[in-house]
Amino acid sequence: MVDYTLKEIISAKDIQNRVKELARDIEEDYRNREVSEVIFVGILKGAFIFLADLLRNLNLPAKVDFMRISTYGLNTVSSEEIKITKDIELDIRDKHVLLVEDIVDTGYSLKWVVDYLLTKKPASLKVCVFIDKKERRRCAVEVDYVGFTVEQGFLVGYGLDYSEKYRHLPGIYEVCFSGVRT
Ligand SMILES: O=P(O)(O)OC[C@H]1O[C@H](OP(=O)(O)OP(=O)(O)O)[C@H](O)[C@@H]1O
Ligand code: HPA
Ligand SMILES: [Mg+2]
């Protein structure tokens, strides 16, 4: 049995305010570059809520696609071995792509997806992550837009799960383990 409690670290209101700011930054950057259309690629499942909120705050011609890779599964530890379980369906060659992730932790997933999408030769590829978590970073990844920076802790809510639970929570919570983990 795993004993734990959830402690709120980012409120739903703070998230909504930050998402609006991020959307404004993204809009301004692409407008300044005179980009007429952006393809948003969300990484399932975690990014589904962030991507939906981001898009609804943006006034920019956008298309949406999703990709799913297998890494964490039901665990809190990354497997390092990554496979595509659902590929994107749009052709991104010569298109401007914004990759949207819920969290960068070790960095393995993001690095792998960036390298993969670059093989499809987009006109540009930028990265937007909701949470940049520093503690377990193992590989360097360049991120263009960051919602919040967090030092440590296993986080849930706003798309993030622990064993598929808590994705629906509107805030971000740290999982505080108290008992013996078996
Ligand atoms: O930086 P990393 O250490 O690679 O971790 C980040 C990745 O791990 C989580 O995905 P997960 O495999 O849990 O899939 P999910 O989004 O379906 O929960 C998260 O959504 C990121 O994609
Ligand atoms: O802190 C986290 N929470 C949920 N999923 C994750 N995947 C990597 N890090 C995390
Ligand atoms: Mg997960």
CA distance 173 to 156: 5
Q: Is the pLDDT of residue 86 over 70?
A: yes
- Residue 129 inside a domain? The answer is yes
Q: Structure tokens of 131?
A: 């949470």
Ligand 1 center to residue 24 CA distance, Å? 26
Whether omega before 126 lies within 30 degrees of 0, making that bond cis, reads: no
In terms of residue numbers, what domain contains 96?
13-150
- Residue 56 inside a domain? The answer is yes
Vertex 158, ends 179 and 28: CA angle to 5°?
A: 145
131 CB within 6 A, ligand 2:
no
**pLDDT 10s digits, 102-154:** 999 999 999 999 999 999 999 999 999 999 999 999 999 999 999 999 999 99
Q: Is the pLDDT of residue 22 over 60?
A: yes
132 CB within 6 A, ligand 1:
no
* Catalytic residue flag (residue 105): yes
What pLDDT was estimated at residue 178? 87
- Residue 180 inside a domain? The answer is no
- Residue 23 inside a domain? The answer is yes
Query: How many structural domains compose the chain?
Result: 1
125: CATH: 3.40.50.2020
Ligand 2 closest atom vs CA 46? 5
Ligand 2 closest atom vs CA 78? 8
What pLDDT was estimated at residue 80? 61
What pLDDT was estimated at residue 2? 79
- Residue 18 inside a domain? The answer is yes
Percent of the chain at pLDDT exceeding 90: 88
- Residue 91 inside a domain? The answer is yes
45 CB within 6 A, ligand 1:
yes
**pLDDT 10s digits, 7-16:** 999 999 999 9
Q: What is the band of 38 on the pLDDT scale with cuts at 50, 70, 90?
A: very high
- Residue 17 inside a domain? The answer is yes
What pLDDT was estimated at residue 76? 62
